[in-house]
Amino acid sequence: MPTETSNLSATQMPSAPVLAASDICVRYGGVEAVAGASLTIPTPQVVGLIGPNGAGKSSLLAAIGGQSRAASGRVTFDGEDVTQLPPHQRARRGILRTFQTASVFDGLTVFENLLVAGLGDQGSRLRGALLRTPALHARERATAARAARVLEEFEISHIADHYGRELSGGQRRLVEIARCLMRSPKLLLLDEPMVGVAPHLVERIGEHCRAICERSVAILIVEHSMEVIGSICDRVVVMASGEVIDDGSFASVMKGESVREAYLA
């Protein structure tokens, strides 16, 4: 819940939770990476998910995004139970994510990367490719125009024609986030978006996160930099040993004993 250090403006108080994950367990063989973690995220809010290595943060993100199947528990998104849905179905409902290792389609240009996301499942249907209807053409034109605007917004228009494989680490992060925006997400899951990014780009990515949130998009961000978490998050959730051990404002969480214990353990 927003507290004394919330980054939200007064007119953007959180509404009902867009995401409710309850009692999530994720197991990899005999290892329980997430052990009954629960989390709710209202819109618009930037929620930081922190914790030591091996706390289960990325596994929880994967359970919400559908990349890992939850052994038990329930993920409700926008009032719908999406626990059993595969990742592409969740993405179509508005859960978009980035990965620890930036996922950019290396054999596609940056502009094409954005188009893949923007055209969505309807724009990537075989029937459309075969028939090339005027409606599809119009949709493609609109998506291309939107992609151009997103590139400008992220100040990466100059690399629009670069292949994914030609980008720097920071550029890959920006493209990955920009790509998610092309799908008009309701919930954005960012897995360590600042890793390997130059300091000036860290600031920019942070600014983009705040700007995205102001468009009524909820963001759950896994990040190790407390400076970043403190500057962009409205709320912080702390995980250790697969469980949520604290949840509150950045200031209150930092004061808590549990966080110190988790990091020192």
Find out whether 244 and 39 touch, Cβ atoms under 8 Å.
yes
Q: Quick one: how far is CA 51 from the chain centroid?
A: 17
Candidate list 84, 124, 133, 258; residue touching other proteins; CB under 8 A: 124
Q: Which is nearer to other proteins, 162 or 256 (CB)?
A: 162
Phi and psi for 171 in degrees, rounded to 5? -65, -35
Number of residues that bind other proteins (CB under 8 A): 51
**Residue span binding other proteins (CB under 8 A) among the ranges 1-9, 33-41, 81-89, 251-259:** 81-89
Least separation in angstroms between CB 185 and other proteins: 10
Q: Looking at this protein, which amino acid is placed at residue 34?
A: V
Q: Does 241 bind other proteins (CB under 8 A)?
A: no
Alpha carbon distance 259, 265 (integer Å): 10
Alpha carbon distance 170, 155 (integer Å): 12
Binding mask 99-118 for other proteins (x = CB under 8 A): x---xxxxxxx-xxx-xxx-
Alpha carbon distance 29, 92 (integer Å): 29
Q: Which is nearer to other proteins, 90 or 235 (CB)?
A: 90
* Partners of 187 in beta bridges: 95, 218
Q: Does 132 bind other proteins (CB under 8 A)?
A: yes
Alpha carbon distance 53, 2 (integer Å): 26
Binding site for other proteins (CB under 8 A): 65, 67, 86-88, 91-92, 96-97, 99, 103-109, 111-113, 115-117, 119-121, 123-126, 128-130, 132, 136, 140-142, 144-149, 160-161, 163-164, 179-180, 183
